[in-house]
Homo-oligomer: A and B are copies of this chain.
C-alpha cells in the first residue's frame, strides 16, 4: 500500500493561531486547506507524551495507583504513569514513574506498544511497558502528587475490565497486551 493512494486525504496548514502555552499542554487553532480546495479549522492540543507501566510483583500481583483526576473530578485507578520530560527515553521514564509512584524497582521493562490517546484533537502518544518487580521500597511521589498504591491479582484485574471498574484507556490496553503476550 503506497502512501500516494491517500494523498487526497491530506490537509495543508495555511494559518496558525496560538491560544495557550501551559505547563503541560499547548493549544492552537489552525486554518487548513483540504484536498477539494475548501478550508476548515483544526483545534489542536500539543502534549509531550507519556508512559504507562504495568508491573507484576514476585507474588504475581499487579501494581496500580489510585489518583484524583481533576478533569473528571473523580478517583481513577490506573497503572503507574507519567509525562515524558523533554528528550527523555520513554523506558527510563517508565522505570522512574514506577519507582516514584509505587516504590517498586524493576528489571528492564518490555515495550508493549505506543499509541495516540486522542488523535482527533491531540498529538499525545503513550508508550506502554511491562516489567517484573524485583524489590519494593517506599514510594516517593512528586511534591503535590497524592496517590495511593494498590495491588490486585491478575484474575481480579481481568474481572475489573469486564465490570467497568477500570476506565482508563492506557491501563486497559497495557493489561490486554501483556495478557496477549503471556506476561500476565
Contacts and interface: CB of A to CB of B under 8 A. Distances in A.
Nearest to A19: B20
Given A71-B121, A120-B69, A146-B35, A27 B27 contact: yes
Interface stretch (A42-50, A92-100, A129-137): A42-50
B118 A122 contact: yes
Contact of A29 (B22, B81, B117, B161): B22
A168 B115 contact: yes
Nearest to A39: B144
Chain multiplicity (copies): 2
A107 interface: no
A173 B169 contact: yes
B38 A144 contact: yes
Size band of the interface chain A makes with B = 35 or more
Contacts of A179: 180
A43 B72 contact: no
A76 to B, nearest CB: 6
Which of A23, A25, A83, A116 is the most central at the interface, judged by chain B CB atoms within 10 Å of its CB?
A116
Contacts of A71: 42, 44-46, 119-123
A86 interface: no
A110 interface: no
A9 B117 contact: no
A88 B76 CA distance: 25
Contacts of A121: 24-25, 45, 47, 71
18 contacts: A6-B75, A6-B148, A11-B73, A19-B20, A20-B29, A22-B43, A24-B120, A34-B144, A42-B70, A45-B45, A46-B71, A72-B119, A113-B161, A116-B169, A126-B169, A176-B177, A176-B180, A179-B180
